[in-house]
Amino acid sequence: MTDALAEKTCTPCRGGIPPLERDEAARYLGQVPDWELVDDGRRIQRGYRFKNFRDAFAFVGRVAELAEAEGHHPEICFGWGHATVSLQTKKIKGLHENDFIMAAKIDRLAAA
C-alpha cells in the first residue's frame, strides 16, 4: 500500500481547507506504519538510524531534493548515525495527504 502513496505526487496546498481528522490520519498512517502521529494528531514523524554522520547527512540531502521536487517540505533533525523527519502541512497547521505521500516517498528513499 505504501507504494500506492509513494506513486502519488504532492499537490500545491494554498490553505483554506481543514486538516485531516484523526480517523482519516489513522487510515493513512496504516500505509506508512513506521511513522507516528504526534502533536495531538497534527504532525507525523519517524526516526531513522545510520552507520555514521556522513550517511545521515547524505540521507538528509536526498530528502531535501525530494522535498524541492514535490514542493512539500519536512522538518529534519539529524546527527551522528540518526535523523528524525517530521511532516505537517504548515498552511493548514495539520495533516494533508501530501504529508503521507512524502512519508511513503521518504521511506522508499531510505530503503534504497
Ligand X SMILES: C[C@H](O)[C@H](O)[C@H]1CNC2=NC(N)=NC(=O)C2=N1
Note the residues at the interface with ligand X (CB under 6 A).
12-14, 71-73, 88-91
The smaller minimum CB distance to ligand X, of residues 61 and 71, is found at: 71
Taking the complex as a whole, how short is the minimal distance between the CB of residue 94 and ligand X, in angstroms?
Answer: 10
The smaller minimum CB distance to ligand X, of residues 33 and 71, is found at: 71
67 neighbors 74 (Cβ within 8 angstroms):
yes
Cα dihedral sign, 73-45-98-70? positive
Cell of 43: 504532525
Taking the complex as a whole, how short is the minimal distance between the CB of residue 13 and ligand X, in angstroms?
Answer: 5
Taking the complex as a whole, how short is the minimal distance between the CB of residue 88 and ligand X, in angstroms?
Answer: 6
The smaller minimum CB distance to ligand X, of residues 12 and 18, is found at: 12
Cell of 109: 528513499
User: In 3D, which of 23, 14, 1 has the Cα closest to residue 98?
Assistant: 14
